[in-house]
Chains A and B, each alone.
Chain A
Amino acid sequence: MTEPVIEVHDLVKHYRTRGRGTVHAIDGVSFRLERGKVLGLVGESGCGKSTTARLLVRLERPTSGSVRVAGIDVPRARGSELKMLRRRVQLVFQDPYSSLDPRQRVGSALTEILRVHHIGADERSRRAAVTDLLEQVGLLPATADRYPHQLSGGQRQRVGIARALAVRPEVLVLDEPVSALDVSVRAEIMNLLMRLRDELQLSYLFISHDLGMVRHLADEIAVMYLGQIVEYGSWDEISDRPRHPYARALQAAVPIPDPATERTRARLEVAGEVPDAAHPPAGCRFHPRCPLAEDVCRARDPVLAGLPSAPTDYLVACHVVQRQAAEPIGESRR
């Protein structure tokens, strides 16, 4: 087994708020990402996926648990180690517009990053490096003279990616990188990400609410709900044969470009909305919305565990799925 580039163990992040109590943004999340691989993190708002991203790049520190990225103990990194972390892992945001300075030309923004990280011997070599970076993400050298508002959404996201690549990272944390883009542009950015991963041997944590996009790129997928991983496995196991009722609802939301199928496909009805993370429901956190919920789901928190019938790297946290898997084949489900 290769050495993982990300190793997260029992990660917890709570926010104490005035009035609302303690928000359980992340509650005991563990996963690992191997070099050159893509881990998809899927879930909806409030599931903790963006908080996970922020903890990985040290924009925040966890309440407890461990995070190692490229061999560095993230919460404890100081001095030169912290600098090293900033070069090894980079975050790409959903909306590149909000992360680019509107008054700074693209070229000068990129040159500045290189200067800060002492990359390139002088300004001339840095400018040449900027041209290379732009080319790497499929932009013309002339883009360097543009301001962010002069670019299309797709071009801005390419600049966002170029900026992340400037420090030659090993890992990219991509937080909904294509969600704000038009349909035709999404495909371009997805293709770019796949090419860069292969060319630069990058590892990705790809965060999205869109299981269809994640399916396409990820080697493994973790489904998150209210701060916990509820299902984890290889991409095909999760996207094509999800067992957890929440993951099944996400799968049902992936569009099938065929009206006949789209209208008749079976859908698990998920009621209501995500509850307040300051007061997560007792027992299984999904039970108030779950069409399969039973008494045990209201009483006990399910444990993330494997199934006898599933591959060894597969995990699910659902009482009903676990019980059904344990029943002998042919026995009726009541």
Chain B
Amino acid sequence: MTAVLSVQNLRSSVRTRAGDLEIVHGVSFDVAAGETLAVVGESGSGKSFTALSIAGLLPAGARVTSGEVVLDGQEMTTLPERLRRATRGARIGMVYQDPMSSLNPLMRIRSQVAEGLVAHGWEKDKAAARTLDVLGEVGLPSPAAIGRLYPHQLSGGMQQRVLIASAIAARPQVLIADEPTTALDVTIQQQIVDLVARLRDDYGLAVVWITHDLGVVARIADRVLVMYAGRVVEHAPTQRLFAHPEHPYTAGLLGSIPTPQDPHGSALPQIGGAPVSMSALPLGCPFHPRCPQAEQRCAIDEPPLTDRDGGQAACWVPPAQWRPA
């Protein structure tokens, strides 16, 4: 499979009073057409920052410092700013967690979807026709009627559908979804997951799904990237990652979800310690202060991401040597 999106050694930082603070520290991955890559991590892991870096949507004061983002064979980070924006906007669709804050409350649905298309060079009447089509494609009933409404007149689930319609209207090759179901009710979450899976299959979209919800990951991802402290600590096919994680952090995340097999009322396995702060990274492996498997070496040298059983992991201690939790 050839990659539609290829990210190589991406680094981004944000300017602070104390100097540049690196948030994304050398992230690499590929996604092919029709494939779903899940990026998993807790708050502060750098997963959203990675997405914004790829989409070229970093806030003021933040920038990509090195690395490559190759979209369909074209290197994006070296393109002139204006060209880069046009290319990215048309080829990468982006969906966020909170639909209400991404939609303009004063604009009718059809106008905001069409506006995006016009910005990408579509003619007005073609944009209007495409808007009606795409509102139907995301499963909204009577697109013409919905198009006349304002965002607040729609439910959260419908707003999220509008946002997805906006993201795929220009027929991008890549869809980046940043926690698109977190703010929604569980029955609606299921509908949105099914919708994105259908769009991926129908249009051969390469999907990057950013989430902390491992249930969603188990359902739709082909591969998983686990992030911690701005780094990739594990990268593996979904089935393998769930069956036998190669990084203690992944094992900890998987272990902390209660399952229907757990004895009722038993203590849930917990990772312990506090999430790491990028401004105060420990020496060695950034996870070692919380790691149940840490050895002396982990506090001195940071482990590189190396090939491990069909995937990659950044850990000095192989699972065969792990102590039982």
Contact = CB atoms under 8 A, between A and B. Distances in A.
Contact of A215 (B239, B260, B267): B260
B224 to A, nearest CB: 10
Contacts of B216: 255
B259 A256 contact: yes
A204 B267 CA distance: 17
A184 B256 contact: yes
Given A182-B43, A249-B187, A259-B219, A191 B270 contact: yes
Contacts of B185: 44-45, 209, 273-274
Contacts of A213: 258
Interface in A258-280: 258-260, 262-263, 267, 270, 273-274
B138 to A, nearest CB: 14
Given A184-B42, A212-B258, A257 B218 contact: yes
A257 B259 contact: yes
A262 B216 CA distance: 9
B253 interface: yes
Contacts of B190: 249, 252-253, 267, 270
Contacts of A325: none
B249 to A, nearest CB: 9
Contacts of B212: 182-183
Contact of A260 (B188, B239, B254, B271): B239
Nearest to A260: B239
A262 B259 CA distance: 12
Nearest to A246: B187
B213 interface: yes
Nearest to A45: B185
Contacts of A216: 258, 262, 264-266, 268
Interface in B34-74: 42-43
A258 B218 contact: yes
A273 to B, nearest CB: 5
A162 B253 CA distance: 26
Interface string A22-58: 0000000000000000000000110000000000000
Contact of B186 (A44, A152, A186): A44
Q: DSSP majority for the A interface?
A: helix
A242 B272 CA distance: 33
A282 B264 CA distance: 38
Query: Is the interface on chain A under 10, 10 to 19, 20 to 34, or 35 or more residues?
Result: 35 or more
B271 A184 contact: yes
B141 to A, nearest CB: 9
A240 B274 CA distance: 33
A183 B253 contact: yes
B2 to A, nearest CB: 24
Contact of B189 (A183, A235, A253): A253
B316 interface: no
Interface in B234-254: 238-239, 242-243, 252-254
Interface in A154-202: 154-155, 182-188, 190-191, 194
Interface string A244-255: 000001101111
A153 B42 CA distance: 11
B19 interface: no
A217 interface: yes
Contacts of A274: 155, 185
B256 A262 contact: no
A184 B252 contact: yes
A273 B155 CA distance: 8
Given A253-B187, A255-B257, A263-B219, A187 B268 contact: yes
Interface string B147-176: 000000001111000000000000000000
B289 to A, nearest CB: 14
A236 B213 contact: no
A183 B256 CA distance: 7
B80 interface: no
Given A183-B212, A216-B264, A256-B215, A188 B270 contact: yes
A239 interface: yes
Interface of B: 42-43, 155-158, 185-190, 212-216, 218-219, 238-239, 242-243, 252-254, 256-260, 262, 264-272, 274-275
Interface of A: 44-45, 152-155, 182-188, 190-191, 194, 209-210, 212-213, 215-217, 235-236, 239-240, 249-250, 252-260, 262-263, 267, 270, 273-274, 289
Given A186-B256, A212-B259, A255-B218, 7 more contacts: A184-B271, A188-B270, A191-B267, A253-B186, A262-B215, A262-B219, A274-B155
